[in-house]
Structure 1
Amino acid sequence: MATTETLLQTLAAKLPLVLSTAGVLLAVFLAQVLLKGSPLANLPVALDDLPSDEKRRQAYLTRAKEVYSSGYKKFKDSVFRIITSNKFDVIIVPPKYLNELKSLPDDTVSFDGAIEQTMHAKYTKLEVGHKLIPHIVKSNLTPSLVRLNPTIAEEVQESFRREMPECDDWTPININYKLLRVVAMVSGRVFIGPELSRSEEYVDAAINYTLDLMHARRAVDTMRPWLRPFLANRLPEVRKLNERLAQADAFIRPIVADRRKLKKGEAPDDMLQWMLDGQSERFGGEYKTETLARLQLGISFAAIHTTTMTTTNVFYNLAAYPEYVSVLREEIRDVLAQHNNTFTSAALQAMKKVDSFIKETMRLDPAGFSSFQRRVNKPFTLSNGQVIPANVMIEVPAHALAQDPEVFENPSQFDPWRFYNIRQKAREQGAVEEAAQNQFVSVNPLVLTFGYGRHACPGRFFAANEIKMIIANTILMYDMRLMDGHEKRYPNIEFGVTSIPDPTKELLFRRVQIA
């Protein structure tokens, strides 16, 4: 007891010294941290005229286009940062460094890591990082388009027969809603096969999975990070998403079971079968049906809403600028007449004005204001000596680039033949590569619709063909215009980095009058 009392007395006597020493060490540590500074501290920030990061965060939510544009104009050839609604740091890299960025290895700048982080894949169960899907798209889907295009065209025509009313006179139609269903069925025919592609359970899942996923992502995003491992899976939005995944597993399971019994040569020609045939140790072995269901929904997430938004944007422009429809209709008729009235790959490639109209639409009204999103896992240095630290996101200001008058003449003007004329001029000058780069489907460092580098959208060839077929069939069958009282194109809805055509708007359609 005496020894204990003595020890306590000694400790009590020296406690002030211990606390003082600890305080000094803490102060030294904090001073070192503060003196060292954040690796981002010296980077300029967009909207630096605003008084705080919170004001900049609010501005990003309501006018992100301006955030990217003002930063691009002010710091055009240098790196700057933006304050987003998320909790991670975002660095904007000038487009002139794209070729450097695309050469960096995946363990330095990660495409999958960016998706995992922004989409909270751990909780939303979004399948990220599977090498099988990009492999199948590149090795099976794209090379098969020559063979599949007639089937896709038939599915487009059948879907329109199912979804569109007669329209003998001017008829109001919510084209975004109709396109969602058409694109789901047409894409489903290639993705999952004829057993399910027209069924309501598949169409509903393909369309609404994306909405459920985005609701779940936003719900997790608003939760404090340290709470997510304990509570994220209990969120109502996450539970609803899990129910959607279970439903997809239920309706895909019997299809997969039947497919696995088929002999070689009996199986359908679609992505589900290619997935089953392509499973190997290289791609993680044989997948469980629930994994196949999540992969199928992931494909829907990547394809259906983006294709629908692009096509809706095109229709809004066709209705706003009806003077161009007759030119497009003439081209479509002439091209099809030269190709046995069949939507072959060659016919689609020959529709150069249709192609230009789509590309110009996406230049002015992209789905997002930035591109080339990557998570930085390891620091790297740009050619100008600028060090990009780890644990940040990088982006390229795609929309600001497309609005640069030094890149495009009269950039704010909708010029439907802009890329058609660029391609024609390039051909006349013998610049074959430049002509090819200005197709809608091409990966172009000046129009980043499909990204850039080795992670550029692998499904863009299928998407471009599908979009062209939908537009061409519609132009051949219908005239269209804005609703009465509207003289200008419907403005898109913008929130954060995203821009979407207003899904509530209607257009007037009338069957083409045959003289």
Structure 2
Amino acid sequence: MAKMIRGLKEFVVPNSLDLDWGTITLLVIFFILATIFVVWTQRPNEESLLEKLKALDLPVVGVGPNVNVSEALETGTQTYPDSPYVIPTDRVPVVIIPNSIINTIKSLPEKKISFEKEVYARHLAHLIGPQKVFSEPILDSIKQDLTRNISKTLDTLWDEVDYAFKKNIETLPEDEEGWKTVPVYGKVLNIVSLLSGRVFVGAPLCRNEEWIQTTISYTINLGASVGMLWKRPWWQRRIFAPLYFRTYHDAHRKAEELLRPILEREIAHGPSEQEAKAGEQTDGQLIKWLLSHTPQKDGNIDVKQLAHDQLTVSLAAIHTTSITISHLLYDLATYPEHVAPLREELESVIAEHKAAGGNGKLSKVELTKLWKLDSFIKESQRINPPILVQMRRYLTSPLALPSGHILPPGTFCGVDAQTTNRTVPYYEASPITHQQAPFDKFDGFRFSKLRLVPGNENRYQFVTSSTESLNFGHGS
């Protein structure tokens, strides 16, 4: 026993330090207290924030940690249409701001009402790692480069669509009647991963099964891990974070391993002469754009951050796109009367393209002619919104509302997208002659018919955000 105690003392305190057991005990106690203090000072303020909001006389809609957000939004917006109210979600209390001041919120600067800090806090990013949620290079690459080159990526994507469907659909076995059973969401995940990867990292990596599974597992497991961690008391989260985020870190390591040789080759040799001509090469361009915006020191780059950036954009592309396409297919099966008109429209646009000398692979211009398809997608998302609360923000300074309430810093806020989807009276905004379906019913061509009204030709498109359509956010 004495030998064990001496060994413990040597482990805790090097032989070079001649300390007695009393001093060692005090050091251990100090270390424990310091650890508790650090953890305590970093505790979340969900409960204190809710009390602050109640003190402002903000009504709270919904009770308990398992509040039904959909029902709370419906009740809250009907009861308080022109004033803010609070929903105590299972993570943080969220102030729902009236939709009447959406444009005011949209115009506020990031330093006052932050999108990035909201994402950071909601995903418990301080427990994950040092990488920035949105690095400057990835933001610049998307805003400046990807947006400007969208049309150039389509030719590349047509080839990848062909490959993705052959790999994921045509290889499925048929039953005795010639039908194939397709696990929709799983197959859509694989297809979207291939398509986004073709633009983000290029071939052959985008077709590498390890890369595909890495991006998919990252997309699925990050949200699940964050959700499980939020269910833990605040003081347990730092303890369980390494366990819950294990798959997250595994994905990061694998992404670094797969990306490193590509990044090193790109840095060493740069784009080929052909690729350098006017940005014609779009295969895996995001890597090149990222590197062009990333500062280098003596030829060295932060591969961890670049891998994180790639996984972040992959998550953004795969998650919402896969959900949208899956709902789209289910709605198409549920309302088959839309199939024939959609096919007729597509065949007409393809025929027109070929007659003009095209190869049938539609460009951005031709895609804008698919009004019915665009409308069907928008209606599907209206009925099945990806997020019920949009324009989510974190206040870094006080926010005065027209109701007279002043929301304190640290408040999480957003707007009710669900009620907008269900109640905006499109038929009153524009005089139309057709019979408008009720908003609790699915009308796949609702928006294409609205666009027939003179002056509405460029309104009500799937990618258009407005105070009438918040599913893409509005200013996010």
Please classify the TM superposition score into its range, dividing by the shorter chain length: 0.7 to 0.9
Give the secondary-structure state (helix, strand or coil) at the position aligned to 1:374: strand
Q: Indicate the residue corresponding to 1:321 in structure 2.
A: 335
Q: Are 2:134 and 2:309, in contact at CA under 8 Å, matched by a contact in 1?
A: no
- Structure 2 counterpart of 1:467: none
Distance 1:40 1:131 in 2: 37
Correspondence for 1:367 among 386, 397, 400: 386
1:303 corresponds, among 317, 320, 326, to 317
Matched, 1:80 2:85: yes
Confirm or deny: 8 A CA contact 2:385 2:471 kept in the other structure.
yes
CA positional deviation for 1:215? 2.8
Q: Is the counterpart of residue 349 in structure 1 residue 349 in structure 2?
A: no
Q: Hey, what does 2:222 align to over in structure 1? A: 213
CA displacement 1:336-376 (0-9 Å, x = unmatched): 11122121001111111000000011111011211011011
Question: Relative contact order, CA 8 A, sep 6+: which one is greater?
Answer: 1
Q: CA deviation at 1:232?
A: 4.2
Which residue in 2 is equivalent to 1:481? Answer: none
TM-score normalised per structure 2: 0.79
- What is the CA deviation profile of residues 281-306 of structure 1, one whole-angstrom value per residue up to 9, with x for unaligned ones? 8xxx9741111111111111111021
CA distance in 2, matches of 1:256, 1:129: 19
Quickly say closer, same or farther: Cα 1:286–1:104, change in 2 above 3 A.
Answer: farther
CA distance in 2, matches of 1:139, 1:369: 29
SS state of the match for residue 362, structure 2? Answer: coil
Q: How far off is 1:93 after superposition?
A: 0.5
2:76 corresponds to which of 68, 71, 76: 71
- Structure 1 counterpart of 2:467: 445
Q: Say whether the 8 Å CA contact 2:381–2:471 is kept in structure 1.
A: yes
2:267 corresponds to 1:239: no
Q: Distance in 1 between matches of 2:268 and 2:472?
A: 38
Q: Distance in 2 between matches of 1:100 and 1:252?
A: 42
Task: Summarize deviations over 1:448-475 as a string: whole Å, max 9, x none.
Answer: 111111x3xxxxxxxxxxxxxxxxxxxx
Work out the CA distance in 2 between the residues paired with 1:414 and 1:299: 31
Letter in 1 for 2:185: N
Which one of the candidate residues 115, 136, 140 is aligned to 2:141?
136
**For residue 153 of structure 1, what is the aligned residue in structure 2?**
158
Checking the alignment, whether the CA contact within 8 Å between 2:54 and 2:60 is kept in structure 1 is no
Following TM superposition, by how much is the alpha carbon of 1:417 offset from its aligned partner in structure 2, in angstroms? 1.0
Cα distance in 2 between the residues matched to 1:250 and 1:264: 21
The one of 282, 287, 290 equivalent to 1:272 is: 287
Q: Is the 1:188–1:197 Cα contact (8 Å) retained in structure 2?
A: yes
Q: For residues 4-37 of structure 1, give each alpha carbon's deviation from its aligned partner in whole angstroms, at most 9, with x where no partner exists.
A: xxxxxxxxxxxxxxxxxxxxxxxxxxxxxx9xx8
Unaligned runs of 5+ in 2: 1-47, 276-280, 428-435
User: Contact 2:218–2:247 at 8 Å: present in 1 too?
Assistant: no
Q: Indicate the residue corresponding to 2:119 in structure 1.
A: 115
- Matched residues in 1 for 2:244 and 2:363: separation? 43
Whether the 8 Å contact between 2:420 and 2:470 is mirrored in structure 1 is: no
Q: Deviations over 1:322-342 (max 9, x none)?
A: 111010000001111112212
Shift of 1:140: 1.2
Q: Matches of residues 249-260 of structure 1 in structure 2 within 5 Å?
A: 249-260=256-267
Q: Cα distance, 1:39 vs. partner?
A: 4.2
User: 1:164-215 CA deviation, whole Å, 9 max, x = no partner?
Assistant: 1366822221121111111100110001111300010110011111222123
For residue 73 of structure 1, give the secondary structure of its aligned residue in structure 2: helix
**Distance change in 2, residues 1:383/1:448 (3 Å):** same
Q: Which one-letter code corresponds to 2:254 in the other structure?
A: Q
Looking at structure 2, the residues matched to 228 and 287 of structure 1 have their Cα atoms a distance apart, in angstroms, of 32
Q: Report the secondary structure of 1:375's partner residue.
A: strand
How far did residue 406 of structure 1 move? 4.2
Seen in structure 2, the aligned counterparts of structure 1 residues 404 and 262 have a Cα distance that, compared at 3 Å, is same
CA distance in 2, matches of 1:403, 1:251: 45
What amino acid does structure 2 have at the position aligned with 1:131?
E
Q: Give the length in aligned residue pairs.
A: 397
**Per the alignment, in what secondary structure is the counterpart of residue 268 of structure 2?**
coil
Residues 240-277 of structure 1 deviation map (CA, whole Å, 9 limit, x = unaligned): 32122111111111111111122443556311111112
Whole-angstrom CA distance in 1 between matches of 2:137 and 2:307: 14
How many Å separate the matches in 1 of 2:185 and 2:368?
Answer: 25
Alignment-derived partner of residue 23 in structure 2: none
Question: Which SS does the other structure have where 1:371 is aligned?
Answer: strand
Mapped contact 1:119–1:217 kept (Cα < 8 A): yes
Contact 1:185 1:197 in 2 (8 A): yes
Residue 140 of structure 2 contacts residue 293 of structure 2 at CA under 8 Å; is this kept in 1? no
Alpha-carbon deviation of 1:64? Answer: 2.0
CA distance in 2: counterparts of 1:77 and 1:395, whole angstroms: 14
Q: Corresponding residue for 1:190?
A: 199
SS at match of 1:394: strand
* Equivalent position of 2:97 in the other structure: 93
Conserved 8 A contact 1:279-1:286: no
Query: Aligned pair 1:419/2:419, yes or no?
Result: no
User: Does residue 289 in structure 1 map to residue 303 in structure 2?
Assistant: yes
Q: Confirm or deny: 8 A CA contact 1:369 1:397 kept in the other structure.
A: yes
1:103 paired to 2:107: yes
Q: Which residue of 2 aligns with 1:175?
A: 184
SS at the partner of 2:452? helix
Q: What's the CA shift for 1:160?
A: 0.4
Per-residue deviation, 1:102? 0.9
